[in-house]
Amino acid sequence: MRRNEELGHSASGGAISNLSVMRGETRLHEPMARHVSWRAGGSAERVYIPADINDLAEYLRGLPAGLPVVFAGLGSNLLVRDGGVHGVVVLLHGALKRIALESRLKGANWENEAAEGHGVVYAEAGVAAPKLARYAASHDLVGAEFMAGIPGTVGGALAMNAGCYGSETWDVAAQVLTLDRQGHVTERSAADYTLGYRHVALNSGAEEWFVGAWFRLARGDGALSRQRIRELLNRRIASQPLNLPNAGSVFRNPPGDFAARLIESCGLKGMRIGAAQVSEKHANFIVNLGGATAANIEDLIDEVEYLVSRRTGARLLREVRIIGTRL
């Protein structure tokens, strides 16, 4: 890390006013291939790894108004184009990592909640979703087992209502903690959002990022919960190409159908552009065979979309997020 006095201006010309008091880590021109699960793509102009939520709030307050900000966790549904990313990428994994049992939900009538046999786990946005599943099970709380199959962080799971095996993140997320560009921290409930399949939108339309959440879970048999987690992980290992860099499911499942079935029905398993390949194990995965560029991956996504639409009439919607500039 360079000294703070060397980092005081953004490429857009605005001064970042509070670097001298920041407790987190700033990196310039950071290769994002290190931070996305596809292991491909360009560099971020600036990366910030916060010390905690208060540090992140202070950092955001000091940014120039027009400087773009992107939040990233494990990078498991993210592609950074080869030309890189202008602005700031905030890395949460390994930074916002607190996880703990809570005595009650904020503002809730906990006497009634407890009588119904529930408990609460609080997890910050940088906690890996599988860790949340294991932590809950170790405290005899059940219902979060499916999160062991989500290859991302709590923040990412909240932002896209990630799910698998018939359950979704907001099925168990009772309350969330958010942060806006001005550094304001707000507690919200599901009622503040429009929720859907791989879709979460704040009703007010304001720009906020998830930094933590309270998960309301039933009390149950922790041993059975841990067994269920092992079973789900075994299913994932058996059905997904986890031996190669990938970003999980590339496309959302259309209503009443599966993206993988549509792609496979078009004979696209194994299709390649450069070192990017439609997985031969699971058609809704694109894998990096070694040395794939972000352009290879994006071009393959585009081609799969086009061919499925032309041959079946179905429109595939992307689950992955693509940011940055093409070379």
- Res. 1: pLDDT tops 90: no
- Helix, strand or coil, per DSSP, at residue 165: coil
216 with 277, same domain?
no
205 with 284, same domain?
no
The single residue of 81, 198, 216, 228 carrying the catalytic annotation is 198
Taking only the tens place, the pLDDT of each residue in 191-223 is: 999 999 999 999 999 999 999 999 999 999 999
131 with 61, same domain?
no
109 with 139, same domain?
yes
130 with 186, same domain?
yes
The single residue of 45, 208, 305, 319 carrying the catalytic annotation is 319
Distances (CA, A) of 76 to 53, 79, 148, 245, 267: 22, 9, 14, 10, 26
User: How many structural domains are present in the chain?
Assistant: 3
pTM of the model: 0.88
The residue segments making up the domain with residue 197 are 99-231
Sequence length of the chain is 327
Among 171, 198, 231, which residue terminates a domain? Answer: 231
Q: Is 167 a catalytic residue?
A: no
The single residue of 39, 249, 279, 298 carrying the catalytic annotation is 249
Q: What is the pLDDT of residue 7?
A: 39
Sign of the C-alpha dihedral computed for residues 205, 210, 216 and 221 taken in this order? positive
CB burial string 11-21: b at 16+ within 10 A, e below: eeeeebeebee
Identity at 149, one-letter amino acid code: G
Among 183, 210, 231, which residue terminates a domain? Answer: 231
Among 42, 65, 91, which residue terminates a domain? Answer: 91
Q: Is 43 a catalytic residue?
A: no
Q: Is 249 a catalytic residue?
A: yes
Q: What is the CATH number of the domain that holds 217?
A: 3.30.465.10
- Residue entry with tokens 């290769």: 31
Report residue 191 as tokens. Answer: 């009622």
Measured between alpha carbons, how far is 44 from 55 in angstroms, rounded to an integer? Answer: 20
73 with 127, same domain?
no
Taking only the tens place, the pLDDT of each residue in 280-312 is: 999 999 999 999 999 999 999 999 999 999 999
